[in-house]
Amino acid sequence: MSPAGQSGPMDTGRGGTASRGANPANERELIERLRGGDEVAFVELVRQYQSLLKRVARMYVHTEAVAEEVVQETWLGVVRGIEGFEGRASLKTWIVRILMNRARTRGEREGRTVPFSALETEESTCADPAVPADRFQDAADAYPGHWTVPLKRWGDDPEQWVTSNETLDFLHGAIDLLPPVQRSVVMLRDAQEWTTEEVCEALGLTETNQRVLLHRGRSKLRKALESHFQGQVAKA
Partner 1 sequence: MNAWGMDCNELVELVTEYLEGTLGAEARANFEKHLGLCGSCRNYLEQMKLTRLATGTLRAEDVPADALDSFRSAFREWKKS
Residues at the site binding partner 1, with contacts judged by CB under 8 A: 1, 3-5, 7, 9-10, 12-16, 37, 39, 42-43, 46-48, 50-52, 68, 72, 75-76, 79-80, 129-131, 133, 136, 144-147, 150-154, 158-159, 162-163, 167-168, 171-172, 175, 186-187, 190-191, 193, 196, 211, 214-215, 218-219, 221-222, 225-226
* Residue length of the chain: 236
Please list, in sequence order, all residues whose beta carbon lies within 8 angstroms of the beta carbon of residue 188, skipping any fewer than 6 positions away.
52, 56, 194, 198, 199, 202, 203
Residue with smaller CB distance to partner 1, 126 or 151? 151
List the one residue out of 39, 35, 16, 51 whose CA is nearest residue 91: 35
User: If 0-12 CB within 10 Å is exposed, 13-18 middle and 19+ buried, where does residue 177 land?
Assistant: exposed
CB of 198 to partner 1, least distance (A): 14
At its nearest, how many Å lie between partner 1 and the CB of residue 146? 5
**Nearest residue (CB) to partner 1, 114 versus 191:** 191
Closest distance to partner 1 from the beta carbon of 162 (Å): 5
- Hey, is 204 helix, strand or coil? coil
User: Nearer to partner 1 by C-beta: 55 or 112?
Assistant: 55
Dihedral over Cα of 162, 157, 190, 24: its sign: negative
Amino acid at 67: A
User: From the CB of 158, what's the least distance to partner 1, in Å?
Assistant: 6
In the complex with partner 1, which residue's Cβ is closer, 62 or 146?
146
